[in-house]
Structure 1
Amino acid sequence: MTFPMPGHDSGLWQAAEDELTAALDGRPLVAAERFASSGRTSYSGPVPIAAARPALAIGCYEPWGPASPVEALTLEGRTALRGIDQRRSWMADLDRAAQTAVRRHGRPVVAAWYATERLRHWAGPGGTVAAIDASLRAEVEDKANFGDILTRSGVPATLHLPGTRIDGPLPGLHELRRLVRAEKVVVQSGADSGGRGTVFVDDEADLARAAEMPGPYRVTAFVTGWSANTTVLSVPDTAGRLRVYVDRPSHKAVGLPEAGIAAGKSGGNTWCLPWPKDAAARLVDAAVRIAHWAWQTHRIKGLFGLDALLRADGQVFLNEINCRNQGTTEASAVNQQLRGLPPFLIAHLTTMLDHPITWLPDPDDFNNATVALATAPGPGPYYLKLRHRGAVPVRLDQHLPGPGVYRLHGGRLLWVRPGAHPADAGHGEVLLANLPAPGTVCEPGAELGTAEGITTAAAAPFASPHSLSKTGRALLAAFDRHLVPADPREGTAP
């Protein structure tokens, strides 16, 4: 490994495993997420926690080797197709099969982003969905409510984006610009994820697209700089007091046309680039305040995420809350492991099942160390999203046999070894995770997986908030050479 994991306290890790096991209380863990490999950085890699490996994973994409749950049910495994339609419909397409599969496991604990009626039906009588309720998630994540959340949480006004809430129809462009005192305007609506529900408004055509979204709206000034994500863990103790742990903030690349990532959508994150100390400290303080508001107001605990914007002058603004697991949850777990701790996800599952946690450190000490780590240059995990950017269906050629560790050589990718954790990739290597299985037909716009590893700023995949680095471009160019045209009839209908 390029950056070996630090020595770990075996007693602490054993306590984390024992407490998760006790929380499950003999019930099988069932994961229901788009990636059937969800949670792999907890149960694979240098210090795996066996209790976190699901007995059953239900998802859109197939898992692989060391990232596999005990059993998997996926849409891709049934259709050999991967595309936009499949990633939107997989839960409905697998509904009946999922009910049957879950019921075979008795009283399951279903881990998911948020609890829906469908998931509760899958869990069945005696089952548990270990996630925030979907209706509460929708209320808290509604982008129109975020300004009010910041105010109620006591977050200093300097971290609020200039903006306003609009409950009726959107006014004209001139009025929007006047309201936020900026030429470029951002209109947000609803509680969607992945950049959906956000429109950057430069002209009347953009405004018309924004007006197609249902209100109410949050309208803010566009801020130039890095987007960022921070993972936060809230854990109530046995006396009802809340302990809040704030992870190192990332640098998130947004709108990467060269990688097939549209404006407002994330192309991936890296945690190896340093933050200004004052900005990191203010972000951590704000996260703690919001966590206390969420607990006191809604009894929200476990994992949630904050999105922020970091300007070149060091000013930081908060712009969104996601009170659930996120796309960053998998890779950001490596931050905790690099600090000698089990991933936050283990504590999340344990506390969502109302079991006390003893192995977490003092939160103030942890958060002070977070600021120091965020400020100093040093290694951190990264992931870069891989998308099919062409206009015709493709599949991977025989030189890319599936997920694992690869090395870039001669403009192509060479298989090195199996792997499922970013730390499995050594110097000059990369983990390609969640690739389609051989023969899978990938339609235009399909998610092809992620490139992952642990690196320093010199080899980060992003050069700026909206562009790839030389390293990132070389990786994508090499990956593209392994995509060959496919006959869509090779796949099968759901």
Structure 2
Amino acid sequence: MTTSPTVVDAGVWDEAARGLTTALGRSVLVSVERFTTAGRTTYTGPLALEAARPALAIGCYRPWPPAAALRALAAESTTQVRGVAQRRDWMAGLDRQARSAIAALDRPVVVSAWYGTDLLRSWAGPSGVVAAIDHGLRARIEDKAYFGELLLDARVPAALHLPGVRVDGPLPHLARLRRRVGAVRLVVQCGADSGGRGTVFVNEEADLVRAAGMPGPYRVTAFTPGWSSNVTVLSVPDHRGGLRVYVDRPSHKAVGVPEAGIGPGKSAGNCWSVPWPEPAAAAVVDAAERVARWAWSRHGMSGLFGLDSILTDDGRVFLNEINCRNQGTTEVSAVNQQLRSLPPFVVAHLTTLLGGRVEWLPDPDEFNAATVRTAASTAPGPYYLKLRHRGDRPVVLDEGLARAGRYRIHGGRLRWTGPGAHPAEAGVGEVLLANLPEPGVVCLPGAELGTAEAVTPCGGGPFAGPHRLSPVGRALLNALDRHLTPADLPTTR
């Protein structure tokens, strides 16, 4: 479904480009993320903002031409292997090459990343800047054991808090913990990790033993059935001592989807075309504004962050996590802003972190009121489904999936229909397959094979429930499986 705003003010895009360009100054943009195509929904597609295309992208997976930065450095080009270990360790393997590639730019750099680390600061060098929240601050704010206190400090209404307790010492026996929380099934969380790590669902003693293997302190809450959700939040200082807060449309996020190869507590993707109850959407927007103002007043934090929540069948909503950084949702959630005739939040995020002025955003109160109305409507929205290798032996993609781009299912297989880099470029019956491994790259069990993306009418996404695929999602994964060919690991170079 190819969808774009009905009214586009080119002046807004021009002003956003000028603001980012001014904030960059003499520096050039370098993206450091696992996907070397990070940010492509901003600089490609029907409303491309070329000023946001990185001069250099450093990551794990090789880009495909329409989505590529001006230059890319990918670990996969050397390893020719894609797997769980590779996606976690790629930065160390690229250290020497990354320093050389950045030095070859012969310009000061702005490094865009999820969060700032000593390694990234050393890559940027003395004249460079890392445009991301500092890792230490991120670890404090995202600490799952601290989240209950955060909500209290931010004055988020109690109705949005999950029933739970903080445990600073060893976890007590299961029966006692159940009494303290007031629930039989529990969720134990700790630390500031991502991707479902640091979370254990406790149904029996063996689960509690596994949870106790994580370092404390712990946050223990009642398991609450319902849809998981993510909402992207942008806070922008107004340079007069105030803060403007913009809240995106909340998603429906499927987690723990075994048929998609996604384990408990891990996300299978997000869909933004399924309506929310209006009171629940309004409560999330209000809470997001409160948390943004707390983060600004307490820590001076501005820019992008995300709030995760649970939407129950009876329309209640509970907040369960904060991610003060770019997220896995950042790429495709940007399409929500474009559907509302605005450049993606990430442009304002980068401009803000560089100390620039963001003058092109609308009145935040009006924007957030429209967010609530859109969330409760049947308006189209984007989705993405994570593609995993679910088998137990290495594979390669056959020639039918030789490149990322637009596909449709035909005869139970995926057929190429044309190039593409943006979900809105997928037409009716099509899907964008992004970040596919190139032919010959060996994919190990559990490897990321990419994402399937599109903009869809209400209810047309890949999920039928909080933990289930829809017929659309199931057909897509079944077709993908038919393009996987058993392979041997490449010989060591």
TM-score calculated relative to the size of structure 2: 0.99
1:489 alignment partner, SS class: coil
Q: Which amino acid letter does the alignment assign opposite residue 108 of structure 2?
A: R
- Work out the CA distance in 2 between the residues paired with 1:261 and 1:239: 46
Query: Shift in Å at residue 195 of structure 1?
Result: 0.4
Within 5 A, what are the aligned runs for 1:219-368? 219-368=220-369
Shift of 1:65: 1.1
1:430-469 alignment, distance < 5 Å = 430-469=431-470
Q: Is the CA contact 2:80–2:490 (under 8 Å) kept in the aligned structure 1?
A: no
Query: Is 2:197 the counterpart of 1:193?
Result: no
**2: CA distance between counterparts of 1:240 and 1:133?**
22
> Does the alignment pair 1:80 with 2:80?
yes
Equivalents in 2 of 1:39, 1:53: separation in Å?
7
Q: Which residue of 1 aligns with 2:479?
A: 478
**In the alignment, residue 239 of structure 1 is paired with which amino acid?**
R
2:128 corresponds in structure 1 to 127
2:486 is matched by which residue type in structure 1?
P
CA contact (8 A) 1:164 1:180 kept: yes
The 4+ residue runs of structure 1 with deviation greater than 6 A are none
Q: Could you say what secondary structure the match of 1:235 adopts?
A: strand
Contact 2:380/2:457 (8 A) holds in 1: yes
- Report what 2:10 is aligned to: 10
Equivalent position SS for 1:458? coil
- Write the deviation string for residues 387-418 of structure 1: whole angstroms up to 9, x where unpaired: 00111100100111111000111100000111
> C-alpha distance in 1, partners of 2:179/2:383?
39
CA distance in 2 between counterparts of 1:320 and 1:128 reads 28
Count of matched residue pairs: 492
Task: Tell whether 2:212 aligns with 1:211.
Answer: yes
Q: State the partner residue of 1:427.
A: 428
Partner residue in 2 for 1:41: 41
CA distance in 1, matches of 2:300, 2:77: 38
Q: CA deviation at 1:186?
A: 0.1
Letter in 2 for 1:42: T
RMSD of the alignment, in Å? Answer: 0.8
Partner of 1:54: 54
Tell me the residue number matched to 1:400: 401
1:179 partner SS: helix
Contact 1:31–1:56 (CA under 8 A) maintained in structure 2 = yes
* Contact 1:279/1:316 (<8 A) preserved: yes
Q: What is the deviation of 1:457? A: 3.0
Q: Which amino acid aligns with 1:335?
A: N
Residue 468 of structure 1, CA deviation: 0.1
8 Å CA contact retained: 1:387, 1:445: yes
Which AA in structure 2 matches 1:381? P
Matched, 1:93 2:113: no
Distance 1:7 1:65 in 2: 29
SS of equivalent to 2:287: helix
Partner of 2:31: 31
In 2, the alpha carbon distance for the partners of 1:300 and 1:280 equals 24
- Measure how far apart 1:281 and its partner are: 0.3
Cα pair 1:5 1:46 within 8 Å, conserved: no
1:226-255: CA deviation from partner (whole Å, max 9, x where unpaired): 000000000001112100000000000000
Deviations 1:98-153 (A, max 9, x none): 11111222210000000000000000011000000000000000000100000000
SS in 2 for 1:453: strand
Question: Does the aligned pair in 2 maintain the 1:13–1:342 contact within 8 Å?
Answer: yes
- Partner amino acid, structure 1, of 2:303: G
Q: CA deviation at 1:77?
A: 1.2
Give the drift of 1:3: 2.4
Q: Distance in 1 between matches of 2:53 and 2:458?
A: 32
Match of residue 153 from structure 1: 154
Is the contact between residue 60 and residue 74 of structure 1 (CA under 8 Å) also seen in structure 2?
A: yes
Q: Determine if contact 2:4/2:338 at 8 Å carries over to the other structure.
A: no
Instruction: Map 1:383-394; keep pairs closer than 5 Å.
Output: 383-394=384-395
After superposition, what is the alpha-carbon deviation per residue over 1:256-309, rounded to whole angstroms, capped at 9, x for unaligned?
000000010000000000000000000000000000000000000000000000
Partner of 1:413: 414
Q: Identity over the aligned pairs, expressed in percent?
A: 65
In the alignment, the residues of structure 1 paired with residue 7 and residue 402 of structure 2 have an alpha-carbon distance, to the nearest angstrom, of: 33
Report the Cα offset of residue 425 of structure 1.
Answer: 0.3
SS state at 1:31 partner: strand
Deviation at 1:26, TM superposition (A): 2.3
Q: Is the 8 A contact 2:192 2:198 kept in 1?
A: yes
Which deviates the most, 145-154 or 5-14? Answer: 5-14
Q: Secondary structure at the match of 1:378?
A: coil
Cα distance in 2, alignment partners of residues 352 and 388 from structure 1: 37
Tell whether the 8 Å contact from 1:65 to 1:418 is kept in structure 2 after alignment.
no
> 2: distance between equivalents of 1:37 and 1:62?
8
Distance 2:104 2:24 in 1: 17
